[in-house]
Structure 1
């Protein structure tokens, strides 16, 4: 049998129990029941069906992978799925924004290089040092700094997005900046600037 007959299962609660225990038919039932709502949220957030369909897929994959953590006492399956979908849509918007900034930066470098014999070597070196040092930070610090500087988010927004306490976000930011500043000063002193 390829479908779930709700009269045989005892209703939504039993279907959700089956979903949490790894029953793929229950996942299919959730998709059939809530997929259109997730797609609507994606289209509303992103403005096009293709990206919205990507959000639907990412949402249900994430739901399946984290199914053991779903707690029906904390909210309905629809609320849970829409929460995941919102985060996936925001992730996609940020990704597109970063891609646009990279393309703009590359165009600026090409334009600057065409008129003045290439980009300023000090600027290029500074950017490489920062990128290298960011890679050396612990993942949580790197994430907080990237969200602060590249996505221009506030401390409160970062805390809400990552689930970190606000004090932890501030600490990661402070320590990350201190480490970058320290590396910057060491490199400046070594170069004699």
Structure 2
């Protein structure tokens, strides 16, 4: 897709917007999944991101002709909103009488929940980071956005982004070094349903978590390696 084609959709060309979706939805979904640890929430976030992009297409900030950095930051905002809503729902659920809670009959629910639980174990250390550092890690190290692109879409200088990533690495090193055992290997859950037409077996951005682990303790390497996409 050319830069010109990526910018045409801002004027309301639905075909060109669909082309942008086809190109960017995989990266947005991966980003949302890493932030939430849930395939279903990641689908909802991805759908919300592109709905927002269409409604606010005249406001989308392009970086080097690409909307992807803006889409990833928007995904971060929607992921936080989804997590807050999920927390409220869980609080209401735990207050409900036990006989009102119905079991899910699907055979594979337990396996999927276990996958998500283990994914959340990996994310725990990252979620302890300050918000600014967490966003820098998610954009630059997980989703492969360059420091300059992240700086442009976050509205800060490139040196600020680099500093946030550096501080995040140091914090993760300390946090994960105190964990006696790294979390078990994760089988990446594959989304189901037609909410977002993503292809779980397609390769996502590679090398992102390897860069996060570079120069840090072996435990950081072991933990973040579970987030590495298949190349």
Structure number with bigger Rg: 1
- TM-score, with structure 2 as normaliser: 0.39
Structure 1 length normalisation: TM-score?
Answer: 0.46
Q: Select the structure that is richer in helix.
A: 1
> Higher relative contact order by CA 8 Å / sep ≥ 6: 1 or 2?
2
